[in-house]
């Protein structure tokens, strides 16, 4: 059974956080990289630093799922580390072996961090920052072909501050709508803009 998410025949518009802001920044691109032939098979790996934390694993799942959906909506085949390795954390060795064994063209690695802030005024908000690196399967994990950075905030807290706090909060599953989908959409646009992906 294929581990790749097939291109979507019809995929609804991405749900963007209307009150948030998401900005990607290109840090570096390998000038020698030529997307010929164009990449078709992508592996997505959210490299969380705390693989034992169920909240961190849930955030990884939300981010990888959103990126996979964004890519598949453009006709690409996508596999994610949380789908390929559901029972345990991925690492460079396992990801590299899978990518080379399944003819993956590009490996997209996102290292993200989520912080909640709860000032008295304005309302609580969550800030996400992430470093994105893209590799060819042959060069993974030694030399990326593109490095970018993305940051976004949403005017809600994702973690509970305790009963009776009166703080309006979102549940962890809301990460997908409030942060992951805007991040995924901007990463996709950046990869197309800088000709890592040619669609």
Asked if pLDDT for residue 48 goes beyond 80, the answer is no
Q: Which DSSP state fits 197?
A: S
DSSP E strand stretches across 106-145: 106-117, 125-136
Q: Give dist(CA 196, CA 190) in Å, integer.
A: 9
Asked if pLDDT for residue 16 goes beyond 70, the answer is no
Quick: pLDDT tens for 93-136.
Answer: 999 999 999 999 999 999 987 776 655 545 566 778 889 999 99
Peptide bond between residue 37 and the one before it cis (omega within 30 degrees of 0): yes
Find all residues with CB under 8 Å of 120, minimum gap 6, and list them. Answer: none
> Using 50, 70 and 90 to split pLDDT, how confident is the model at 160?
very low
Asked if pLDDT for residue 84 goes beyond 60, the answer is yes
> Using 50, 70 and 90 to split pLDDT, how confident is the model at 49?
low
Percent of the chain with pLDDT over 70: 69
Asked if pLDDT for residue 143 goes beyond 50, the answer is yes
Domains of the chain: 21-193 (3.40.50.10610)
At 124 the pLDDT is 63
Q: Degrees (nearest 5) of the Cα angle 188, 77, 57?
A: 70
Q: Which one has a higher pLDDT value, 42 or 112?
A: 42
At 7 the pLDDT is 47
- Among 32-41, 107-116, 175-184, the minimum mean pLDDT is found in 175-184
At 53 the pLDDT is 72
Q: Tokens representing 78?
A: 């996508």
Q: Degrees (nearest 5) of the Cα angle 60, 179, 82?
A: 15
Q: Which one has a higher pLDDT value, 174 or 52?
A: 52
> Using 50, 70 and 90 to split pLDDT, how confident is the model at 180?
confident
The mean pLDDT value for 30-59 works out to 85
At 130 the pLDDT is 87
SS3 content of the chain, % helix, strand, coil (to 5): 30, 30, 45
> Are 77 and 105 contacting, i.e. CB atoms less than 8 angstroms apart?
no
b/e for 71-95, b at 16 or more Cβ within 10 A? bbbeebbbbbbbbbbeeeebeeeeb
Computed over every residue of the chain, the mean pLDDT equals 78
């Amino acid at each position: 059974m294929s581990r790749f998410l097939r291109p979507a025949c019809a995929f609804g518009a991405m749900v963007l956080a209307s009150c948030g802001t998401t900005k990607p920044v290109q840090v570096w691109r390998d000038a020698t990289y030529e997307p010929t032939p164009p990449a078709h098979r992508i592996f997505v790996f959210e490299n969380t630093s705390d693989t034992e934390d169920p909240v961190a694993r849930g955030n990884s799942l939300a981010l990888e799922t959103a990126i996979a959906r964004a890519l598949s909506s453009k006709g690409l085949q996508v596999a994610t580390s949380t789908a390929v390795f559901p029972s345990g954390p991925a690492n460079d060795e396992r990801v590299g072996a899978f990518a080379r064994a399944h003819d993956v063209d590009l490996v997209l690695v996102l290292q993200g961090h989520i912080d909640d802030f709860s000032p008295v005024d304005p309302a609580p908000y969550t800030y996400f920052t992430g470093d994105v690196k893209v590799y060819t399967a042959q060069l993974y994990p030694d030399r990326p072909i593109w490095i970018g950075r993305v940051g976004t905030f949403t005017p809600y807290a994702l973690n509970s501050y305790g009963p009776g706090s009166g703080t309006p909060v979102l549940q962890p599953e809301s990460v997908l709508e409030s942060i992951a989908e805007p991040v995924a959409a901007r990463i996709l646009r950046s990869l197309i803009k800088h000709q890592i992906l040619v669609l």
